[in-house]
């Protein structure tokens, strides 16, 4: 199947190069994206084939001196991630064609097409390359390409700023990743993943722990776990929406891929506390991520923060995998891993969908600010349906896919209740409850997002004049919305495929007896089972029956009237609840976290009653920004300013540096 992989690579490369060959902006736009779609479809085909058959393939090309061959291996784990990337890239690209038509400027489209294709290609290569050096190279190309997509609208200062934060953070992360590779390579004697795996069992504990921390910080930065997340809410909203969809939907998952690869294949036995550390970070990310998302008024920033939450959820699953691996319960471990992977897939589908939805809104209203939206459900009905589907799925409500994977993660957490470790037994239910809490907050957040943006009356002229997006964009969103439902209904089948992936990573001697995925149900022995299909039937059945019953028995007359305004006339759009107002209870309750400040300015004409204007300003604080990163940056600038006093321009001073160093060295020499 190598030729399919090559085919995919060739299509992406072609898509990247075409913009420089073709002349007209529209033609470039079409062909560069068609090329990307073709690449994505090929990726879906061969990765599915690998997943279904469980048979991977590999390819090696001679590489640079010393660092070893450039080997590409598509094993089930890689195939899964290739599937997720390729799968999401197709609708995102379909969406892109019309979405970026507004930038008819040829240069810009070429720029976008080049980096877009490069970005997807780099992601594909990252998840299948099996050599540390090339991994780093592709990893950085991925970051770099996405950086350029983030600064796409570089005339805006925010975009440039976001780009800098993003690239710097990810570069720091890469430094840690590289360090972990060096530590591994120092032990294994080569940069080939195969050798890392072979030498895993003999890794000394101290080295192993060093690797753990470097890997966690390195990939944690990319994944956006709190407190390494600051780049994420800046960068994702700045990119064009279909790119945000890919960044949030799949790029940050490449970090999850790497974590799985490292901890389940490169390090041998896993200490219990690794799992505990990951779980702690995961729950912090999940809860704080969504709490921050709640405070956002900007649709895309809100989605970006919600990605942090979902990474937290994914890592909860992965943390449990490690805990079960450490306590030698392979069956549970593989259940947790399957849950993790399933949530990766699901998050890709609904987060992709939501970003595309946000993009649709943005393209028609030119604002992502919820305070200026409203009433779009009537103007953009299909977008609204799709966005709502995504919102329901991301809030993990049955019967859509988010619920299924979250249920599995709940099960993984709770099935630790028989653990020997008291702490594990005590904390896992609390973590599960906090996960539920995060879920409830997510529901709140997306009620707000959908409710304020799509329901009610439009709050601005742009929103009032919005119209539905073009059919191809609708198709793209529809595809993803369909997948949100489809993944839920097909859940047992998907899970049985994911079992093959986990089988290559977690060696269970016996076939796993504790859970089965046959037919309609996903079952975990101590837990019972769920069947999204049955839920779907039950719910829709109940709805249908009710509907029919009412249609027959109840009065069908409807009278239209203005909304209730306490009996006062003239309810205006400005009297609606705002996004800021909506999150006020949460802001009050968690004021210790947000440190909200408010400022009310009154203007009057001498008399207190004759108010002419009233301004209200409310701000929340991002504690990690304010208390960690900003002081760090300030400190750095301060130190730089002070350090520059070294170089005053006086040649005598420079001479004395040489002079003093020489004397010090001579004294050192005489003491040798």
Partner 1 sequence: MSVVGLLCIPFSAAFILLLPWPRKIMRFIFMAGGMLTAASGWTLVFGSHFQPRIFSLGGNLMLDSLSAVFVLLIVTIGVLSNIYASGYLFREGPAELSLGRLRRYAFFFHLFLFTMLVTVLSNNLGLMWIAIEATTLASAFLVNVDDKKSSIEAAWKYLILCTVGIALALFGVILVYYSIASRLPAGEGSDFLQWSFLVDKAAVLDPQIIKLAFIFVLVGYGTKMGLAPFHSWLPDAHSQAPGPVSALLSGVLLSCASVSLLRFHILTKAATGSAFSNDLLILFGIFSVAVAVPFIWEQADYKRVLAYSSVEHMGLVAVGFGFGGLWGIYGALLHVVNHALTKSLLFFCSGHLLYQFQTKEIKKVQGIFRKDPFLGSIFFFAVLAVAGMPPFSIFLSEFFILTAGFLAKKFLVCAILLGLLALIFAGFLRQGSHMTFGAYSGGAPLRERNVLMDGVLAVGIIVIFVMGFYIPGPLHELIRQASLLAGGNTP
Partner 2 sequence: MTKFLLLFFQWLLLVALAPSVSWFIKRMKAASQNRRGPTLVQVYADLIKLFPKEMVVSQTASWIFHVMPFILLASTFVVAALVPVLWTDSFLGFTGDIIVFVYLLGLGRFFLALAALDTGTTFGGMGSSREMALSSLGELALLLAFFSLGVYAHAFSFAGIMTHFAAHGPMEVLFFTNLAFGAILIVTLAETARIPVDNPATHLELTMIHEAMILEYSGKYLALIEWSHQIKQLVFLSLLANLFLPWGIFNVPTTTALGWSVLVYLVKIFFLAFVVGWIEIHSAKLRLFRVPDLFAIAFVLAILSLLGQLMFRG
Partner 3 sequence: MSSESIVHLVHFLGMLLLITSLGIIASPLLSACIRFYAMHSFLLSLITLAIAYNHHLWHLGISALLTFLLKVIAIPQIFFAISRKIGVRKEVESYINIPSSLFLAVILIFVSFYVTAGAKTGSALSSWEFLPIAIATVFLGMLVMTTRKKAITQVLGLLLMENGLFLMGITMTFGMPLLVELGILFDVLVGIIMMGIFIFKIRSAFEGIDVDDMTVLKG
Q: How far is the CB of 154 from partner 1 (least distance, A)?
A: 4
- Find how far residue 110's CA is from the centre of its chain: 26
Across-strand partners of 611? 604
Question: 94: number of CA atoms within 13 Å, CB side?
Answer: 22
* Residue with Cβ nearer partner 1 (433 or 635): 635
From residue 261, alpha-carbon distances to 126, 255, 256 in Å are 12, 10, 9
Which of 422, 600, 643, 651 is the binder for partner 2 (CB under 8 A)?
Answer: 422
Q: Reduce the DSSP state of residue 420 to 3 states and report it.
A: coil
Asked if 69 contacts 131 with a C-beta cutoff of 8 angstroms, the reply is: yes
**Shortest CB 63 distance to partner 1, Å:** 9
Tell me the residue ranges of DSSP E strands in 425-531: 515-516, 522-524, 528-530
66 binds, among partner 3, partner 2, partner 1, none (CB under 5 to 8 A by kind): partner 1
Residues in region 509-528 near partner 2 by CB under 8 A: 521, 526-528
Beta strands in 399-466 (DSSP E): none
Pull the structure tokens for residue 157: 């200062």
Tokens representing residue 346 in the block: 């699901």
Q: Is the dihedral of CA 401, 407, 409, 411 positive or negative?
A: negative
Stretch that binds partner 2, among 74-82, 239-247, 348-356, 422-430 (CB under 8 A): 422-430
Ranges within 608-667 binding partner 3 (CB under 8 A): 644, 647-653, 655-656, 658-659, 663, 666-667
> What is the residue whose two structure tokens read 């939907």?
249
Cα(347)–Cα(303) distance, integer angstroms? 12
Kind of pairing between the strands at 522-524 and 515-516: antiparallel
Binding to partner 1 in span 602-661, by CB under 8 A = 636-637, 639-644, 646-647, 651, 653-655, 657-658, 661
186's contact among partner 1, partner 3, partner 2, none, with CB below 5 to 8 A by partner kind, is partner 1
Query: For residues 550 and 655, which CB has a smaller minimum distance to partner 3 in the complex?
Result: 655
Beta-carbon contacts of 475 under 8 Å, excluding residues fewer than 6 positions away, are 91, 94
The position carrying tokens 């520059």 is: 644
564 binds, among partner 2, partner 3, partner 1, none (CB under 5 to 8 A by kind): partner 2
> Per-residue contact track with partner 1, 111 to 150, x per CB under 8 A?
----------------------x--xx--xx--x------
- The pattern of x and - marking residues 192 through 211 that bind partner 1 according to CB under 8 A reads ------------------x-
Residue list 360-379, contact with partner 2 (CB under 8 A): 374-375, 377-378
What separation in angstroms does the CA of 547 have from each of 399, 552, 554, 556, 565? 19, 9, 10, 11, 30
Structure tokens at 165: 């934060």
Closest to partner 2 by CB, 319 or 503: 319
Smallest distance from partner 2 to CB 441, Å: 5
Half-sphere exposure in the Cβ direction for 483 (13 Å, CA): 23
Interface mask toward partner 3 for 174-193; x: CB under 8 A: --------------------
Strand partners, 528: 524
Single out the residue of 64, 423, 539, 589 in contact with partner 1 (rule: CB under 8 A). 64
For residues 430 and 664, which CB has a smaller minimum distance to partner 2 in the complex?
A: 430
Among 157-165, 261-269, 376-384, 598-606, which window interacts with partner 1 (CB under 8 A)? 157-165
Distances (CA, A) of 444 to 57, 166, 346, 369, 448: 45, 28, 20, 18, 6
Instruction: Say which entry of partner 2, partner 3, partner 1, none residue 667 contacts (CB below 5 to 8 A, set by partner kind).
Output: partner 3
Smallest gap, in angstroms, from Cβ of residue 588 to partner 3? 49
Nearer to partner 2 by Cβ, of 56 and 398: the residue is: 398
Query: Of 575-604, which residues contact partner 2 (CB under 8 A)?
Result: 575-577, 581-586, 588-589
Which residues are CB-contacts of 554 (< 8 A; sequence separation ≥ 6)?
A: none
Q: What is the SS3 assignment for 366-388?
A: CCCEHHHCCCHHHHCHHHHHHHH
Tokens of 524: 């975990």
With contacts defined by CB under 8 A, how many residues of the chain interact with partner 2?
85
CA dist 492 and 530 (Å) reads 9
Query: Do 80 and 341 touch, CB atoms closer than 8 A?
Result: yes
In sequence order, what are the beta bridge partners of 61?
70
In the complex with partner 1, which residue's Cβ is closer, 172 or 414?
A: 172
Residues in region 453-492 near partner 2 by CB under 8 A: 455-457
Q: Which of residues 68-107 bind partner 1 (CB under 8 A)?
A: 107
* 206 versus 667: smaller Cβ distance to partner 3: 667
Binding site for partner 1 (CB under 8 A): 64-67, 107, 133, 136-137, 140-141, 144, 151, 154-155, 157, 160, 163-164, 167-168, 171-172, 175-176, 178-179, 182-183, 185-186, 210, 636-637, 639-644, 646-647, 651, 653-655, 657-658, 661-662, 665-666, 669, 672
Site residues (CB under 8 A) for partner 3? 644, 647-653, 655-656, 658-659, 663, 666-667, 669-671
């Amino acid at each position: 199947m190598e030729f399919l992989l090559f085919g995919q690579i060739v299509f992406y490369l072609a898509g990247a190069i075409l913009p420089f060959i073709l002349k007209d902006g529209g033609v470039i736009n079409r062909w560069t994206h068609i090329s990307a779609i073709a690449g994505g479809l090929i990726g879906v085909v061969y990765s599915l084939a690998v997943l279904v058959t469980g048979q991977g393939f590999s390819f090696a090309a001679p590489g640079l001196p010393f660092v070893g061959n450039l080997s590409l291996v598509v094993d089930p784990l890689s195939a899964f991630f290739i599937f997720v990337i390729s799968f999401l890239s197709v609708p995102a690209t379909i969406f892109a064609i019309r979405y970026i038509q507004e930038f008819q400027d040829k240069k810009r489209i070429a720029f976008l097409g080049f980096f877009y294709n490069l970005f997807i290609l780099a992601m594909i290569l990252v998840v299948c390359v099996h050599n540390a050096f090339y991994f780093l190279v592709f990893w950085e190309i991925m970051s770099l390409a996405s950086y350029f997509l983030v600064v796409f609208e570089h005339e805006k200062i925010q975009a440039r700023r976001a780009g800098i934060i993003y690239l710097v953070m990810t570069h720091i992360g890469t430094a840690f990743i590289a360090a972990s590779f060096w530590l591994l390579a120092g032990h294994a004697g080569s940069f080939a993943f195969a050798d890392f795996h072979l030498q895993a069992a003999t890794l000394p504990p101290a080295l192993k722990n060093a690797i753990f921390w470097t890997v966690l910080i390195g990939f944690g930065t990319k994944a956006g776990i709190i407190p390494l997340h600051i780049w994420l809410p800046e960068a994702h909203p700045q990119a064009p929406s279909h790119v945000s969809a890919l960044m949030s939907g799949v790029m940050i998952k490449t970090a999850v891929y790497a974590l799985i690869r490292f901890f389940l294949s490169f390090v041998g036995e896993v200490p219990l506390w690794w799992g505990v550390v990951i779980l702690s970070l995961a729950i912090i990310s999940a809860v704080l991520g969504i709490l921050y998302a709640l405070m956002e008024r900007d649709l895309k920033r809100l989605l970006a923060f919600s990605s942090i939450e979902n990474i937290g959820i994914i890592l909860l699953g992965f943390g449990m995998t490690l805990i079960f691996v450490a306590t030698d319960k392979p069956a549970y471990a593989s259940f947790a891993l399957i849950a993790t992977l399933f949530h990766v897939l699901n998050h890709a589908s609904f987060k992709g969908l939501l970003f595309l939805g946000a993009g649709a809104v943005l393209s028609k209203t030119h604002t992502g600010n919820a305070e200026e939206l409203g009433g779009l459900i009537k103007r953009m009905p299909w977008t609204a349906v799709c966005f709502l589907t995504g919102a329901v799925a991301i809030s993990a409500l049955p019967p859509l896919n988010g619920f299924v994977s979250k249920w599995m993660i709940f099960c993984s957490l709770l099935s630790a209740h028989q653990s020997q470790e008291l702490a594990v037994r005590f904390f896992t239910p609390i973590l599960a409850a906090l996960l539920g809490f995060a879920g409830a907050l997510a529901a709140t957040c997306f009620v707000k997002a959908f409710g304020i943006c799509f329901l009610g009356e439009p709050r601005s002229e742009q929103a009032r004049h919005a119209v539905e997006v073009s059919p191809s964009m609708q198709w793209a969103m529809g595809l993803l919305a369909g997948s949100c439902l489809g993944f839920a209904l097909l859940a047992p089948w998907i899970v049985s495929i994911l079992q093959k992936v986990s089988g290559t990573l977690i060696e269970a001697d016996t076939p796993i007896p504790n859970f089965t995925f046959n037919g309609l149900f996903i079952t975990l022995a101590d837990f019972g089972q769920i069947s999204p299909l049955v839920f779907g039937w039950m719910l829709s059945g109940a709805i249908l029956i009710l509907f029919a019953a009412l249609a027959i028995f109840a009065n069908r007359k409807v009278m239209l009237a203005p909304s209730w305004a306490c009996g006062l006339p003239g309810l205006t759009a400005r009297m609606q609840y705002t996004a800021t107002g909506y999150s006020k209870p949460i802001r009050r309750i968690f004021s210790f976290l947000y440190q909200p400040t408010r400022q009310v300015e009154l203007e009057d004409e001498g008399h207190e009653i004759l108010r002419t204007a009233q301004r209200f300003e409310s701000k929340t604080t991002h504690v990690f920004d304010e208390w960690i990163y900003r002081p760090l940056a300030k400190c750095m600038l301060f130190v730089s300013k002070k350090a520059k006093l070294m170089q005053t321009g006086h040649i005598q001073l420079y001479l004395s540096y040489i002079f003093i160093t020489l004397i010090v060295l001579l004294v050192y020499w005489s003491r040798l």
